[in-house]
Structure 1
Amino acid sequence: MSGGRGYIDEDDIRVRARGGSRPRTRNRPKHEDAREGFVTTVDRGRYRCLVDGRPVVAMKARELGRGSIVVGDRVALVGDLSGRPDTLARVVRVEERRSVLRRTADDTDPVERVIVANADQLVIVCALADPPPQPRFIDRCLVAAYDAGLEPLLCLTKSDLSDPDGVLAIYASLDLPNVVTSLDGDLDDVRGHLAGRTSVLVGSSGVGKSTLVNRLLPDAARAVGDVNPVTGRGRHTSTSAVALPLDGGWIIDTPGVRSFGLAHISPDDVVAGFPDLDEAVVECPSGCPHTEGTPDCALDTWLVEGRLDQARVDSLRRLLSSREGEDNTAPSA
């Protein structure tokens, strides 16, 4: 099991080797002359890295084995680092990660997928209309952010189509940092939260994430398109993650997702993702699953007393039950 945490990482999936059967040596080269690079894109086994401000394309060295390399990784490279066309360097080492943002396909999938490494802020992009707001998706992202040690920032788009007050009221008790944008409004507030930081942008398809990136960085040319808010079909926007420099920091745009699975996060850590429910949860009996109808669950007592928001409690309980496969009829976003 990966990291001894009881779940399976994508690197744990074994693939039968093809070709020669030459045994691997334990005496791997140290590559003390390797240069540090920052991975900005990953595309079909090729890694675009920034080395001393110069873009270099690299492949993974054989001695790295099955370990994954993702956008945001700090890596060591050897070989041709000129960055000239048709040259290829080698990634020989992945440096220790400061943070890792993960998700699973759904809440029962044992295989976790690393989205980005070394970010310090998770920007949860949510449209106020077309498609409508998705508080359940926001809750999932908040749980993932807290688990990864990232500071969350709620970014509400399309405020010219709908008022943000209703969504902001849901998270008022969290004192959650937020920015509100419109299709042609000023982006100074957004820039202020992004400057000097490594921020990963996550959101459902069609919420305006790539449009936001293009407005912040007109040369980025991130693809935009229409996605049906009901079926999820249509031309999705981003197809791969990419790191782009902005005001002394980085923004990492990720592909739009339909769900954000949390199978890799323990039930206790899911509960920890709802800090506004902390005071009630500590009054629960030991081993309380916090599900609806559980005897002596303090969440129900506090709800009756009007001390908790019903929507927040419902969201927590939905997450906990969906991890156990008990909420399969409800969309995971």
Structure 2
Amino acid sequence: MEFRYLGNSGFKISEITYGNWLTHGSQVENDTAKACVSAALDAGITTFDTADVYANTAAETVLGEALKGQRRQSLEIFTKVFGPTGPKGHNDLGLSRKHIMESIDGSLSRLQTDYVDLYQAHRFDYETPLEETFQAFADIVRQGKALYIGVSEWTADQLRAGHALAKEHKIQLISNQPQYSALWRVIEAEVVPTSKELGISQVVWSPIAQGVLTGKYRPGAELPAGSRATDEKGGANMIKRFMNDDVLGRVQKLAPIAEELGLSLAQLAVAWVLQNENVATAIIGASRPEQVHENVKAAGVTIPAELLARIDEALGDIIERDPAKTLESSPKTREG
């Protein structure tokens, strides 16, 4: 496993992060989830990402159990706040001081730890003053409940505003967690240049485009049984934007490139996002331990420029590059 600094800090994380969105506490039985975490640890992964909203807090509980007994100082544990949790009442979501201060205590209890290494604003909250949010974050850092602050799916302007407040409160905003893959490149035009300027790294999710870049979905073919595209609990909805014959056909054109590098298509997809110098880590999920062992092989891979160009050529105009897509990620109202 290779390690990278997160943002303009002295904090190092594994360049592959194990995440449990859509799996722990919902799609995957707890024993299997724990086996996946064990596989991640065996593979040298030290960084684990979750959120209170995943499976309405159950994912944090499963991860806390799975990591119990590990040396805490050897791990980097990330979680997030914003989405509705518990009974989903009027103050059970967003980035208000009330919700943040209550949520961090709940997360720490479920994760069975005294602190998280990175506490992230899961989306931008248009209904709470940014000053209120960062004052709460600063208090959490001062209390030792979080070491660093991050955000997720923020625009370049939002990052700039958040970074200024973090600096004012003398805390470190060092990361942004966006969707990023060879198919979904909306952060490249604005978010990445701004992040480089501010000393913020990307912690990217869905590097395999919800499984599309594995090549297992083929044009005109039946969907593989048990795959995310058949999951009615949320997976099918997330993947549908890519499920057309043009996208699936072009993904198949990546197979010879992966073969030249001695990689599977999934490994190529993870390695591809890690070629971006502003990306500190790629989050992988798993429903089976074998998937962890396979995807972790993307760590440390260098893709030559000529092959990166061939990937661009193969995918062509199906690549989504519109930076406005990031603006669509955060709901404009808490009910939105």
| Fold match (TM-score > 0.5) | no
What TM-score results when the alignment is normalised by the length of structure 2? 0.30
Task: Decide which structure has greater strand share.
Answer: 1
TM-score of the two chains, using structure 1 as the length reference: 0.31
